[in-house]
Amino acid sequence: MTHRSTQEKCNDILYFLNIHKKPVSTTHVSKEINITIYQARYYLKKLAMAGLVKEIRKRKGVTSLWLSYN
């Protein structure tokens, strides 16, 4: 098993979001990047705090969608 750094995982997520060009669920990100949903949410939140992605939530209790600013 290869362990990737936080930066590599964030880069993988950004690349994935840039390819899709439309909002993607946390679950979709986790499956595509091969990480847990909890890890995906953690990295997506980090990217959002850095201003690289946007979280789209219609209301509480609804699945978050993520979109790259690029």
Domain architecture of the chain: domains with CATH: 6-68 (1.10.10.10)
| 37 φ, ψ (degrees, to nearest 5) | -65, -35
Whole-number Å distance between alpha carbons of 20 and 59: 23
| Measured distance CA(44)–CA(55) in Å, rounded | 8
**Predicted local confidence at residue 70, as pLDDT:** 72
C-alpha radius of gyration, the chain, whole number? 11
Per-residue model confidence as pLDDT tens digits over 15-56: 999 998 899 999 999 999 999 999 999 999 999 999 999 999
Q: For 55-67, what is each residue's pLDDT tens digit?
A: 997 677 778 899 9
Give the span between the Cα atoms of 55 and 17, in whole angstroms. Answer: 12
pTM listed for this prediction: 0.86
Q: Determine contact, residues 63/26, Cβ cutoff 8 Å.
A: yes
